[in-house]
Amino acid sequence: MSSRDKVYLVTDSSISQRAGHTVPFVVEEACRAGVRWVQLREKTMSTRSFVELGVTLKTITQRYGARLIVNDRIDVALAIDADGMHIGQDDMPYPMVRKLLGSDKIIGLSINNMTELLASQTYADIDYLGVAAIFATPTKLDTISELGTLGLREICEQTDLPTFAIGGINATNLQSIMKTGVTGVAVVSAICGQPSPYDAARQLIQLTQSHENIHPSSDDCRF
């Protein structure tokens, strides 16, 4: 997996707006910088607006060869023919999501602890895990506790699936996160909330490149 695949942008319209950006602008700039994972995550948007935004983002991501993943909303994922879907522990059960989306789509699952990791291992065809929350963050208010780097390392040691850490990750702590053996990092404010989403995304990618040079990765990702 290349360094540009190790930075996963998760959208947030409120954070983007506070920084003076629209979500399409943030996604365009991040993809232009080299980001190849984009998750459309909007918790308060109407279905119509969600679909319209998804169609716009799909046009952008396709132009750059990036994957567009929809958070939680299978209706939206199906409507826009997204590349896949990301689900949490309280969302539609994974087997049902896989049946509805089909075998050719990417499905990621959030886990918050070792118990949830062990439960996820009953599913043979999950594509990746989102591991949360590493540090406290206002964008992930539903997590029970912080895993920290130690908890993240323990989870990474117990799975062969690609793993993306999320929660309070930014340019100042990214390299310490990568040392845990995680595949990549998912970020919200570290790109959406920055004056220049392009520069922010570029810096994060460069930091993963620096880590690769020190710690060559043998991670293999099928997508």
Give the tens place of pLDDT for each residue, 48-61.
999 999 999 999 99
In a domain, 107, yes or no: yes
Max CA pair span of the chain: 46
In a domain, 223, yes or no: no
User: Is 210 strand, coil or helix?
Assistant: helix
User: Is 167 strand, coil or helix?
Assistant: coil
- What is the number of alpha carbons within 13 Å of residue 118 lying toward its C-beta? 4
My answer on whether omega of the bond before 133 falls inside 30° of 0, hence cis, is yes
In a domain, 171, yes or no: yes
pLDDT of amino acid 163: 97
pLDDT of amino acid 13: 97
Q: What is the mean predicted confidence (pLDDT) over 134-156?
A: 80
Residue 217 has pLDDT above 60, yes or no: no
pLDDT of amino acid 218: 42
In a domain, 220, yes or no: no
Residue 213 has pLDDT above 80, yes or no: no
Which range has the worst mean pLDDT, 65-69, 166-170, 209-213? 209-213
Query: Please, are residues 85 and 107 in contact by the beta-carbon 8 Å criterion?
Result: yes
In a domain, 219, yes or no: no
State the DSSP code for 35: -
State the DSSP code for 98: H
Q: Which domain holds residue 41?
A: 3-214
- Strand spans (E) along 101-217: 106-111, 128-131, 163-166, 184-187
pLDDT band at 4 (very low <50, low <70, confident <90, very high): confident
Closest CA relative to residue 127, chosen from 151, 150, 106, 102: 106
Q: How many domains does the chain have?
A: 1
CATH number at residue 210: 3.20.20.70
